[in-house]
Amino acid sequence: MSLASWFRWNEPPSRISQRSPTEMVVETLMMELGWQIKQAEKQQRERENEYRKIKTGVDYGWLVSYPKPKHSYDISPGERLQLEDMCTKIHPSYCGPVLLRFRQLIAEYEPEVQEVARLFRSVLQEATEKIKEEEEAKKLARQWNTKHKTSLSLMTFKSRTRISPFSSNIKTISEDVERGTEPTRRVWSMPEFRSAKDY
């Protein structure tokens, strides 16, 4: 009997292969939200205990062990669905930056338990707006590149007609006045166009 049959190293992880990247992003972000809510609850309990110590002036913490609260804060199902829907709009490459930004705001503001979900929603909205801006910038860049390619093709096209505004035999109004002749109906401010065979 071989050792490979005892250890299931050769089997591919079936759970990972069945999930799409979007599902993994949603699960990761929602797990982070749940963990941050639990941390906020823990910090709130610690603040309440500190307040009790200050209020009574005596620390009975060594004597009394506080049981874990049976009622913990939970997000409403409607709000959870909205947050999950917002998480589906986050591209997998933005998952890490979203987590970092959320953790940064949590550390900066130290929100109450009820405010954690709102803070998470604001981070998700900020990320989706950034994604939209970058998509629009890419779209404009693609449009610019296609327009630029066509304009370059027009620039490389050599025309047989040339514009020569400083040609020596261009007539001016002052010449006509000096000679005393009537000017022709041609507009004198325009350059003279000549074909290539005139050169």
Look at residue 137 and tell me if it is in a domain: yes
Look at residue 125 and tell me if it is in a domain: yes
Q: How many CA atoms lie within 13 Å of 151's alpha carbon, on the beta-carbon side?
A: 6
Look at residue 11 and tell me if it is in a domain: no
Q: Find which of 58-72, 99-113, 153-167 is predicted with most confidence, using mean pLDDT.
A: 99-113
Look at residue 71 and tell me if it is in a domain: yes
Look at residue 14 and tell me if it is in a domain: no
- Using 50, 70 and 90 to split pLDDT, how confident is the model at 149? low
Domain carrying residue 108:
19-148
| Cβ contacts of 193 within 8 Å, gap of 6 or more | 161, 162, 163
Look at residue 115 and tell me if it is in a domain: yes
pLDDT of residue 49: 83
Q: Is 57 left (phi over 0), alpha (psi -120 to 50) or beta?
A: left
pTM: 0.61
Look at residue 9 and tell me if it is in a domain: no
Total number of domains constituting the chain: 1
Return the residue matching tokens 């309990």.
45
Distance CA 99, CA 26 (A): 12
Look at residue 191 and tell me if it is in a domain: no
Q: Are 160 and 196 in contact (CB under 8 A)?
A: yes
Q: Are 124 and 90 in contact (CB under 8 A)?
A: yes
Alpha carbon 187 to chain centroid, angstroms? 55
